[in-house]
Amino acid sequence: MTYSCYYCEKESEQAHSITVYGQEEADERFEVLCGDCYEEWLLSLKG
């Protein structure tokens, strides 16, 4: 089974699930990132 990356939309067998927040704090959902995008996402959290 493969997953579509939330950011780059590539198919990836390696999936990392993240929580994405919308405009409101209660508006959260789960998305899946490939390995590359997940690393970038982690970096973006650190600023």
* 14 token code pair: 């390696």
Total interface residues for Zn ion by CB under 5 A: 5
* 20 token code pair: 């994405």
Q: Does 5 bind Zn ion (CB under 5 A)?
A: yes
CB 16, CB 31: distance < 8 Å: no
Interaction pattern, residues 6-35, with Zn ion; x per rule: CB under 5 A: -xx-------------------------x-
Shortest Å distance, C-beta 25 to Zn ion: 25
Spell out the residues 6+ positions from residue 26 whose beta carbon is closer than 8 angstroms to its own: none
Chain residues that interact with Zn ion, rule: CB under 5 A: 5, 7-8, 34, 37
